[in-house]
Amino acid sequence: MNHQLENKRALVTGGSRGIGAAIVKRLAREGAHVALTYVSNPDQADETVQAAQALGVKALAIQADSADAEALVAAVEQTARELGGIDILVNNAGIAKIAPLDGYRLEDLDRTLAVNVRAVFVATQAAVRHMQTGGRVITIGSCNAERVPFTGGGVYAMSKAALVGLVKGLARDLGPRGITINNIQPGPVDTDMNPATGDFARMLIQQVLALPRYATGDEIASLVAYLAGPEAGYVTGASLSIDGGFTA
């Protein structure tokens, strides 16, 4: 690693496991000090923190449900206080409730929008108050914003499609301040929540993906590291697919 993020201060929401943990570790390998939020598994969060600290950076875990706006803002403020500021925000926390239209509960719709959409706005609004020129906001969306080749994914797709418009609009707000904001749209990623085995994964690999495999969390984290770094200074308002041809 070239430590292109040396001494930058980052917050990754939902950073204790899966894609989020891979992002935390990649930012740490690049030299950034990192805070992460988690909801219910302190041991897993502590394991990710220790992995980051082993790379020679400061790291901390903060319990905060992204559906709770007050808790999320408090997490941003704690990050800025303990790390001395915020240079990078990665809005990674997200949920996926898949169910057919006739059986979809309104409480699941409300929580999906609270975590996948409202929390992105809340965290961004709070974090950019601490950012200087060169600040970076990166949101983890989904390829399902553009294509949903299965039933029951309408609400999830809606929540991720909303991020495309939000990022475009906020790019106009943040550009004059020298802060970029971008949206990453991963395809299927091999995690404990979405394993690359089983009937559903087999269907995607055989019928949908141009590259016949799932991505790794590290591959998604590599695009985050690029957008967080100095070489991406002229990229803003973009939604970048890293989906193995899911939307091709």
Q: Could you list the pLDDT tens digit for every one of the 248 residues in the chain?
A: 578 999 999 999 999 999 999 999 999 999 999 999 999 999 999 999 999 999 999 999 999 999 999 999 999 999 999 999 999 999 999 999 999 999 999 999 999 999 999 999 999 999 999 999 999 999 999 999 999 999 999 999 999 999 999 999 999 999 999 999 999 999 999 998 899 999 999 999 999 999 999 999 999 999 999 999 999 999 999 999 999 999 99
Domain 9-235 maps to which CATH number in 3.30.70.2190, 3.40.50.720, 3.40.50.1000, 3.30.2320.80? 3.40.50.720
Determine whether 156 is an active site residue.
yes
Q: Which residues of 13-31 are buried (b: 16+ CB within 10 A; e: fewer)?
A: bbbbbbbbbbbbbbbbbbb
Alpha-carbon gap, residue 146 to 62, rounded angstroms: 33
pTM, two decimal places: 0.97
> Helices (H), strands (E): how many in the chain?
8, 7
Assess contact for 99 and 47: CB atoms under 8 A.
Answer: no
C-alpha count within 13 angstroms, C-beta hemisphere, residue 78: 18
Torsion, Cα of 108, 91, 19, 22 (10° steps): -150
Domain range annotation of the chain: 9-235
- 96: three-class secondary structure by DSSP: coil
Bridge partners of 241?
185
Best CA proximity match to 99, nearest among 160, 24, 157: 157
Q: How far is CA 136 from CA 119, 133, 147, 183, 207, in A?
A: 17, 9, 27, 11, 36
- Set 38, 104, 156, 226: catalytic member: 156
* Strand residue runs (E) in the chain: 9-12, 33-38, 59-63, 88-91, 136-140, 180-186, 239-242
Q: From the CB of residue 76, how many other CB atoms can be counted at a distance below 10 Å? A: 26
- 203: three-class secondary structure by DSSP: helix
